[in-house]
A = this chain, B = another copy of it.
Amino acid sequence: MGVSDRRTRHRVNLRREILDAASQLFVEEGYQRVTMRRIAERIEYSPTTIYLYFKDKAELFQAICEETFSQLTGTLERLEAAPGTPLAHLREGLQTYIDFGLQHPAHYAATFLRTTKGGEASHYDGSIGARAVDTLRQRAAACVESGDIHTTNIDMTTQALWASIHGLTALLTTEHGFPFVAPKVLIDHLLDVLIAGLRSQIAAPRTSPPRPAHTPKPFSFID
């Protein structure tokens, strides 16, 4: 038994080695530029060995992303316990989300900037990204309950918030070369606008005019 224990320990260790080496490479150079052969070179094994531990390159990368993202959800859930008003909690959650994306751009991109193929419609329940979004939803719901904000649909509001902070994170991490104002300032401003916008909906929940004609053609997407 002790022998087979040592065996499985070795298995686990090698799996960890692969994860660590691959993670570092992915962060440094991005998904596409990293090859299975280069990962193998790092750990001084043959390329095919990786396939004994991971089905393919995508699964390897997803495993890494899930590990990284569990840090985010962990941080978000820990913030829950901290003192503060629901509105402050919400703001901190949004802030944390953005900061996370800026600190882990490769993993963030892999999880949320992946141009998924049209056919499959990957199952989202329990997905690592969905969990992070869900914590934001809880914060928003708390604000509704405390009367700080009002909305006709909490999911709608959560998704609008998510879209905004996702967009900022995506732009800041991918659009280098664009002359952005200082990130801190930009982030603060966006959060100001969003929260002010949500709060103002208390008084006037329907600001929008009955939307002009301007009907876009039904779009045919993919990738």
Contacts and interface: CB of A to CB of B under 8 A. Distances in A.
A31 B206 CA distance: 40
A206 B191 CA distance: 11
Contacts of A92: 212, 214
Contacts of A153: 181, 185, 189
Nearest to A197: B197
A137 to B, nearest CB: 12
A142 to B, nearest CB: 18
Contact of A174 (B114, B165, B212, B214): B114
B115 A174 contact: yes
Q: How many copies does the complex hold?
A: 2
Nearest to A152: B189
A118 interface: yes
Greatest chain B CB density within 10 A among A106, A115, A157, A163 is at: A163
A interface bracket (residues with beta carbon within 8 Å of B): 35 or more
Interface in A151-184: 153, 155-157, 159-160, 162-171, 173-181
Contacts of A211: 188
Interface in A176-219: 176-181, 185-186, 188-201, 204, 206-209, 211-212, 214, 216-217, 219
B116 A29 contact: no
Contact of A160 (B88, B162, B186): B186
B177 A124 contact: yes
A130 interface: yes
Contacts of A192: 197, 201, 206-208
Given A30-B223, A88-B209, A109-B115, 15 more contacts: A29-B222, A30-B117, A99-B216, A106-B223, A112-B175, A116-B177, A122-B177, A124-B178, A156-B186, A160-B168, A160-B189, A163-B190, A164-B168, A191-B208, A192-B208
23 contacts: A26-B223, A30-B223, A32-B115, A33-B223, A88-B209, A92-B212, A105-B219, A106-B223, A109-B115, A112-B174, A118-B176, A120-B177, A122-B176, A124-B178, A160-B186, A163-B168, A163-B186, A164-B167, A165-B167, A193-B194, A194-B197, A195-B207, A200-B200
